[in-house]
Amino acid sequence: MMAQLQQGGPDEKEKTTALKDLLSRIDLDELMKKDEPPLEFPDTLEGFEYIFNEKGQLRHIKTGEPFVFNYREDLHRWNQKRYEALGEIITKYVYELLQTECHLKKVTLPVDATESEPKSFIFMSEDALTNPDKLLVLIHGNGVVRAGQWARRLIINEDLDSGTQIPYIKKAIEEGYGVIVLNPNENYIEVEKTKAQVQLSSDSSDEPAEKRERKDKIQKETKKRRDFYEKYRNPQKEKETMQMYIRDNGSPEEHAIYVWDHFISQSAAENVFFVAHSYGGLAFVELMIQREAEVKNKVTAVALTDSVHNVWHQEVGKSIREWMRENCCNWVSSSEPLDTSVESMLPDCPRVSAGAVVPPSAPSLAHSPLWFPALERCTGYCRCLGLVVAVQTQ
């Protein structure tokens, strides 16, 4: 067939070139797969035929089996989209639990948001700003997780207690803490581009006309080649979207500072405690850099878990590093016994073992049974979620 195409005219040669390019990029087995089903999924757990049982485990309504990622064996992209759709439903489900089971209230950000602008939100207990004694602030890591979650994968594959912050929150409230749950990954909303915006984004450029013409020609050739590929691959075209960032909350770092300025710093609590996981640790360190005096005055102890902060890259000053050594501790994934010192190349807070055998990519704090909120002031110590953080004696 290839030899026949090569003997043809310009059009046939162009198809031959495109086909060669296709075969070099895509496994031949991919070309033999069935057409991809529509990327249309249920918008409820029941629609997916799943439910959380009395143990907080996600199980199939009919079979009682755990979630199956490879619902269609030969369609990885479709399975991934299905997984993401389920994840969005679980995010909303956790939001509901924060309000119904933990009795937290949802607070819109920015606090002075207009009707039309993009908005985010956090959750807090009724006494978060009025509790005179103690306040617990929770910051999750980066990625797809949202307020109230530690890890989506653990929620789906393990249970709600492993993957959410709910056990922390319930115990903290039981122990008399006010609670604020940050939402650092909710930085923008996505809206579908209009045809005019799609055209504008492709046309608008300050490049010289000659360079733009060459680029347009390449784009047309690429589109023609892609259209040819689609006869074989049959992928679904997804809608083009644009991101509209939330004012003063366009990144995890911005969000942490905004919540500090408008809520945490205004709280009546004499002692503020942070638990920050992964990128949440970096966001806390950035907060310290920007609000050093305020944080030192109000924060008693910080439990970091697998924190990815870096005092060199973030250009953390000596005074902050000294404060972190006295008031912070970073529990990291390790096979060593709980609280065993773990060597660090960075001159900041102590690093110790979380004392749990952890599956790859699973946050140690979520998987360990030791991680429940019981932040208790003792003589010369703060107990952070059942783990001891040495702090300066007061």
The two tokens of residue 160 are 């709600």
Which position among 125, 162, 267, 278 bears the catalytic label?
278
Cβ-in-10-Å burial (0-12, 13-18, 19+) of 194 comes to exposed
Cα(51)–Cα(66) distance, integer angstroms: 10
For the question of residue 278 being annotated catalytic, the response is yes
The label of the residue with tokens 């956090």 reads 122
Q: Number of helices (H) and strands (E), helices first, in the chain? A: 14, 15
Taking the chain, what is the end-to-end CA distance rounded to the nearest angstrom?
83
Selection from 145, 152, 138 nearest residue 182 by Cα? 138
Residues near 392 by Cβ (< 8 Å), separated by ≥ 6?
A: 326, 327
Provide the strand spans (E) within the chain.
50-52, 58-60, 105-109, 120-124, 134-139, 178-181, 188-192, 241-245, 271-277, 299-305, 328-332, 351-353, 376-378, 381-384, 387-390
Which pair of tokens denotes residue 304? 């970091």
Q: Is the Cβ–Cβ distance between 219 and 227 less than 8 Å?
A: no
What distance in Å separates the CA atoms of residue 98 and residue 165, rounded to the nearest whole number?
A: 9
Q: How far apart are CA 53 and CA 67, in angstroms?
A: 13
Distance CA 231, CA 226 (A): 9
* CA dist., res. 177 & res. 132, Å (int): 10
**3-state secondary structure (DSSP) of residue 282:** helix
Nearest to 327, CA basis, from 349, 294, 305:
349
Cβ burial of 208 (10 Å; 0-12, 13-18, 19+) is exposed
Report, as residue numbers or ranges, the catalytic residues.
278
